[in-house]
Amino acid sequence: MYRYGRGVRFLSSASTAKRINWDPAVDLKLNHPSLILLEKCNSRTQFKQILGHMMRNNLVGQTFPMSRLLFFSAVSHPENLELAILLFNHFTPYPNLYIFNTMILGFSFSNEKAFSIYSSMLQNGTYPGRQTFLYLLQTTKSVAEVKQIHCHALVFGLLSKEEYLQNSLIKRYIDNGCFECARQLFDKMSEPNVVAYNTMIVGLANVGNILGVLKLFHDMRSHGLEPDDFTMVGLLLLCGQLGETKLGKSVHAQIEKSIGSSNLILYNALLDMYVKCNELKLARKVFDGPMEKDTVSWNTIIAGYAKVGELELACDLFNQIPTRDIVSWNSLISGYAQNGDYVTVKCLFTRMFAENVKPDMVTIINLISAVAEMGALDQGRWIHGLAVKMLTKIEAFSGSALIDMYCKCGSIERAFVIFNQIPEKDVTTWTTMITGFAFHGCGNKALELFSVMQTETKPNDVTLVSVLAACSHSGLVDEGLKIFSSMKKRYTIEPGVEHYGCLVDLLCRSGRLLDAIGVIEKMPMEPSRSIWGAVLSACRMHRNMELAERALMELLKLEPEKEGGYILLSNVYATCGRWSYSDSIREVMNSRGVKKIAGCSSVAVDGMVHDFTASNKQHPRWMEICSILSFLTSEMRLEANIPSKAHLATT
């Protein structure tokens, strides 16, 4: 921010009456009603009129009137910020600390401009105060900027005696992900107060650091500080994120014992904790308590029931809620979308419009997810058109959802068009497109895209799972082995069980079963069910009964009640012509009470999903379906019996 000189050129000429000195104790009450009018001002036009009146009375340029004008235009009504800049640069020759703080607060959206004002303040010889640093902290976007403010606060001797400033610095360090700096500042505090402990507890709870949170809580109690509502909110947040029901119940008991759950924020945090721990009975017990509920309370319990598939209960509560907001609708729509009930999702969406509730990005994402699971391309195109209409632009988050939907609906070409239209792609966008190519068998395209990705962003562990899956599905053995071996060195990613699973699947599909077993034996973790399942499937393809028997034994150790392993081994024996062995496996399944889940397929017609289960004849149009199948079968037989023209020509 540049200041153009210290002098002020007033609208009045030199011959005008002598300059009026502002005495707020007298003039505000008797002679100058301008500031009283300014306090009541509510439009830009009125502000300009008052400004003109103050200029005619030579009040512009005097410190107190200017402070009120700047506060109005820069803070109270920020749409007039350009007028505040003009007044500050040209009509404020003697700015004080309050005026500088006001301008810094006005530029809270721009750290560059706020720091420029601060630099001008230091050049002016004005010492910063506590509010100066608090307003500057609001603009920070990086740890380096927070550290600069921290250093200046130390230099000016404000940090040691300002607990509020210390707590604010701790919070900004945490918000920017620098827990080490936050902890160092916290440890240097002579006597940390409850607010400092709460800030640290909530920050560590957000990242799931259970040991750090419990240690701070213990230290807090040992120093004679009683936890308040916000302390308990931090503990409940931790329990909910980690699914620690037992610890959550202990916190609940502590709340009831010491402070009670009379605070609505604490009550909602308690409700949210039980919902995240999938303890819906306890959550409902808290919800049905005597505490007055707000919209957040209703939305939390509705989302909880919707998440676990209790859609009737969620719908009943939704119909009882006094005031619905967009979160209420999204919670219910999300539940039905996860359940694959696209018809109800669409009905709820239509009902939203009827009640004048404007959908947001979460609503659109839920619709896209529902269509993706159904695999209905026509409905997907409709949702895509709606997304383009409702959202200002298709960015990385919504674009990734659209890419996933088109891939699952079978239109990989359209997915790639969407991918190329996203201006700023994140790692999820790249990974989603690579995954789409992988499962459509386009391994070379997946590898080409992966190569381009590395020039723009760093892949994560999920990206490498998708790349290895692409190699596996396309038979690119050498490329897959090369990528796996370079994971740790080139991408600094330690291979996990998913990566080993893809590698084993890659080797099994290419017939290198012994190499696959060698990888399993050298894995640093226990192989998963899917890894032994991949070996068992490959044994059927390559007729390896001995290895199939070993794979089944390992598979049964992990999941003895699952039928998949038995079925695969039975199929291996059948493929090798060992029918007696195949039948014996079926008998073992019966003796152990393991039942094969009936196969199921589905087809979407006009937005309605029709499920067909093996040996089930309960579909309402079963007779019509059988008639059509019989007709098609006879037509195919007739076609097979008619000699072709080429055959007739040779006879």
* 595 lies in some domain: yes
Q: How confident is the model at residue 558 (pLDDT cuts 50, 70, 90)?
A: low
| SS3 label, residue 609 | strand
Half-sphere exposure of 375 toward its Cβ, with a 13 Å CA cutoff?
Answer: 8
Instruction: Give tens-digit pLDDT for 23-63.
Output: 444 444 335 677 777 777 888 888 888 888 888 877 777 78
Instruction: Give tens-digit pLDDT for 458-513.
Output: 999 999 999 999 998 888 889 999 999 898 888 888 998 899 889 888 888 888 88
More confident residue, 587 or 461: 461
Above 70 in pLDDT, residue 207? yes
Q: How confident is the model at residue 564 (pLDDT cuts 50, 70, 90)?
A: low
Structural domain boundaries, residue 474: 425-495
* 441 lies in some domain: yes
The whole-number pLDDT of residue 261 equals 58
Residues 558, 484 share a domain: no
Q: How far apart are CA 357 and CA 326, in angstroms?
A: 7
The whole-number pLDDT of residue 28 equals 44
In the 3-class helix/strand/coil scheme, how is 238-283 assigned residue by residue? Answer: HHHHHCCHHHHHHHHHHHHHHCCCCCHHHHHHHHHHHHHCCCHHHH
Work out the number of other CB atoms within 10 angstroms of the CB of residue 611: 11
* 528 lies in some domain: no
What is the percentage of the chain residues whose pLDDT exceeds 70? 82
Residues 546, 473 share a domain: no
* 458 lies in some domain: yes
Arithmetic mean of pLDDT over the chain: 82
The whole-number pLDDT of residue 16 equals 36
The whole-number pLDDT of residue 648 equals 45
Q: Which one of 122-126, 289-293, 562-566 scores highest in mean pLDDT?
A: 122-126
3-state helix, strand, coil in the chain (%, to 5): 70, 0, 30
Q: How confident is the model at residue 283 (pLDDT cuts 50, 70, 90)?
A: very high
| Range 588-611 average pLDDT | 61
Helix or strand run (H / E) with residue 136:
helix 130-139
More confident residue, 99 or 609: 99
Give how many domains the chain has, as a whole number: 2
What does each C-alpha distance from 258 to 232, 238, 255, 290 come to in angstroms?
11, 20, 5, 18
* 613 lies in some domain: yes
Residues 572, 481 share a domain: no
| SS3 label, residue 604 | strand
Question: Considering the entire predicted model, what is its pTM?
Answer: 0.69
* 85 lies in some domain: no
What does each C-alpha distance from 437 to 18, 201, 416, 431, 444 come to in angstroms?
80, 43, 9, 10, 9
| Range 197-222 average pLDDT | 90
Residues 560, 618 share a domain: yes
DSSP 367-392: HHHHHHHHT-HHHHHHHHHHHHHHSS
* 131 lies in some domain: no
The least confident of 149-158, 300-309, 521-530 is 521-530
The whole-number pLDDT of residue 11 equals 37
Helix or strand run (H / E) with residue 141:
none
Q: How confident is the model at residue 436 (pLDDT cuts 50, 70, 90)?
A: very high
Residues 628, 578 share a domain: yes
Residues 551, 606 share a domain: yes
Domain boundary residue, one of 443, 473, 495: 495
- Give, as one character, the DSSP assignment of residue 72: I
Residues 641, 565 share a domain: yes
* 20 lies in some domain: no
Residues 576, 477 share a domain: no
The whole-number pLDDT of residue 290 equals 81
* Among the listed residues 257, 327, 285, 311, the one whose alpha carbon sits nearest the alpha carbon of residue 270: 285
Q: How far apart are CA 533 and CA 115, in angstroms?
A: 60
Above 70 in pLDDT, residue 455? yes
Residues 545, 641 share a domain: yes
DSSP 316-344: HHHHH-SS--HHHHHHHHHHHHHTT-HHH
Residues 540, 489 share a domain: no
Instruction: Give tens-digit pLDDT for 325-348.
Output: 999 999 999 998 888 787 888 889
The whole-number pLDDT of residue 624 equals 83
Q: How confident is the model at residue 229 (pLDDT cuts 50, 70, 90)?
A: confident
Above 90 in pLDDT, residue 437? yes
Residues 606, 544 share a domain: yes
Residues 576, 640 share a domain: yes
Domain boundary residue, one of 442, 467, 495: 495
